[in-house]
């Protein structure tokens, strides 16, 4: 059995994929461009240091190959299959950490395939990738055990982000001390890169330190005094309004035109938490 090799260096990870439900309209090949994965996505590995293993199953070979190339860029090991029966055979040998499954496949659909793979690996998470866009179909996919659902056409950046979230929640990854993640907000301590839902956010040095401190304490209210001590390393006394000022700067960048993640708890301080 042969698993795919690494992709060519010019494969983009953030190009939108224009797909259709019909096999007569295959996924469009991405335009040439940068091969870099989204900058703020952590480079995940298994707890034993080995690459994350993803099994991609789609009856459109072009789309399956495109997904493989996108995931290869993130450093994951990827196997592909084009029907449920082939996928079951590969799964037994490959032992996937995460599944990317098309629902609408002939012979054995993605829902049945997930159920059968979970008789072998009960905890393996799965993302459904499909042309079915109705709310009822999404609910059905999630009720059948799927961990997330992306409809075609999709953005590769979004798929990579969602897969990283699924894998991080699964508990199979090694600790990553260089990254902080709260909801769809990701911060890279080493490169200072910050993204929300795949969109880059440019911060000043002080804004970065303030956001990092808040993200190190997600869902916990932190007082102005603690923020002054940790971010500014100084007791500003009556100048504590500096915290309010920088929180307002962060809100304009992190929460702009989005559901807010930064919240004021009157009389107590500030908290960052994922959107509901």
Q: Kindly tell me if the per-residue pLDDT of 132 is higher than 50.
A: yes
Give the residue, 144 or 216, on which the prediction is more confident. 216
Which residue did the predictor score with more confidence, 131 or 64?
64
The yes-or-no verdict on residue 27 having pLDDT over 60 is no
Residues 13, 157 contacting (CB under 8 angstroms): yes
What is the reported pLDDT for 16?
A: 44
Q: Please say if the pLDDT value at position 34 is more than 50.
A: no
Q: What share of the chain is helix, strand, coil (3-state, %, to 5)?
A: 35, 20, 45
258 or 24, which is more confident: 258
Q: What is the pLDDT of residue 7?
A: 39
Among positive and negative, which fits the CA dihedral 139, 145, 147, 153? negative
Closest CA to 155 of 273, 254, 13, 46: 13
Report the pLDDT value the prediction gives residue 85, as an integer from 0 to 100: 95
pLDDT confidence of 230, banded at 50, 70, 90?
confident
- Structure confidence at residue 61 as a pLDDT band (50, 70, 90): very high
Each residue's pLDDT tens digit, 193-216 = 999 988 999 999 999 999 999 998
What would the mean pLDDT of 55-66 be, rounded to a whole number?
Answer: 94
How far, in Å, are 4, 29, 38, 87 from residue 143 at the CA level?
Answer: 31, 32, 30, 21
Compute the mean pLDDT over every residue in the chain, rounded to the nearest whole number.
Answer: 80
pLDDT in tens, 66-120: 999 999 988 999 999 999 999 999 999 999 999 999 988 888 999 999 999 999 9
- Name the percent of the chain lying above pLDDT 90: 43
At the fourth CATH level, which superfamily is domain 16-170? Response regulator (3.40.50.2300)
In CATH terms, the fold of domain 179-272 is Arc Repressor Mutant, subunit A (1.10.10)
For position 134, what pLDDT does the model report? 57
Q: Are the folds of 16-170 and 179-272 the same?
A: no
Domain ranges for the chain:
16-170, 179-272
Whether the predicted pLDDT of 273 surpasses 50: yes
pLDDT at 145: 81
Bridge partners for 127 per DSSP: 100, 148
Specify the pTM.
0.54
- Give the Cα separation of 134 and 102 in Å (integer): 15
Interior angle at CA 104, CA 100 and CA 109, nearest 5: 75
Reported as a pLDDT band with limits 50, 70 and 90, residue 144 is confident
Longest dimension (CA), the chain: 70
* pLDDT tens sequence across 155-192: 888 899 889 988 888 777 766 667 888 888 999 988 89
Given pLDDT bands bounded at 50, 70 and 90, which one contains residue 127? very high
Task: Show the tokens assigned to 168.
Answer: 């991080």
């Amino acid at each position: 059995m042969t698993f795919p090799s690494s992709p060519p260096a010019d494969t983009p990870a953030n190009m939108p994929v224009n797909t259709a439900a019909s096999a007569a309209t295959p996924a469009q090949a991405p335009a040439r461009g940068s091969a870099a994965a989204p900058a703020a996505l952590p480079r995940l590995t298994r707890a034993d240091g080995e690459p994350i293993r993803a099994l991609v199953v789609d009856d459109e070979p072009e789309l399956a190959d495109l997904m493989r190339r996108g995931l290869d860029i993130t450093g994951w090991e990827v196997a592909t299959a084009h029907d449920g029966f082939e996928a079951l055979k590969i799964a037994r040998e490959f032992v996937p950490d995460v599944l990317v499954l098309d629902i609408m496949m002939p012979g054995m659909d993605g829902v049945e395939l997930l159920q059968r793979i979970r008789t072998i690996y009960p905890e393996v998470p799965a993302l459904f990738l499909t042309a079915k866009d109705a709310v009822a179909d999404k609910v059905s996919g999630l009720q059948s055990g799927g961990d997330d659902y992306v409809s075609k056409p999709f953005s590769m950046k979004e798929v990579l982000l969602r897969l990283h979230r699924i894998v991080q929640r699964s508990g199979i990854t090694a600790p990553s001390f260089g990254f902080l993640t709260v909801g769809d907000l990701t911060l890279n301590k080493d490169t200072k890169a910050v993204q929300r839902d795949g969109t880059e956010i440019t911060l000043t040095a002080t804004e970065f330190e303030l956001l990092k401190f808040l993200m190190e304490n997600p869902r916990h209210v932190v007082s102005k005094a603690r923020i002054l001590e940790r971010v500014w390393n100084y007791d500003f006394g009556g100048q504590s309004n500096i915290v309010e000022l920088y929180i307002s700067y962060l809100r304009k960048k992190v929460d702009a035109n989005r559901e807010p993640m930064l919240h004021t708890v009157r009389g107590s301080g500030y908290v960052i938490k994922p959107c509901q």
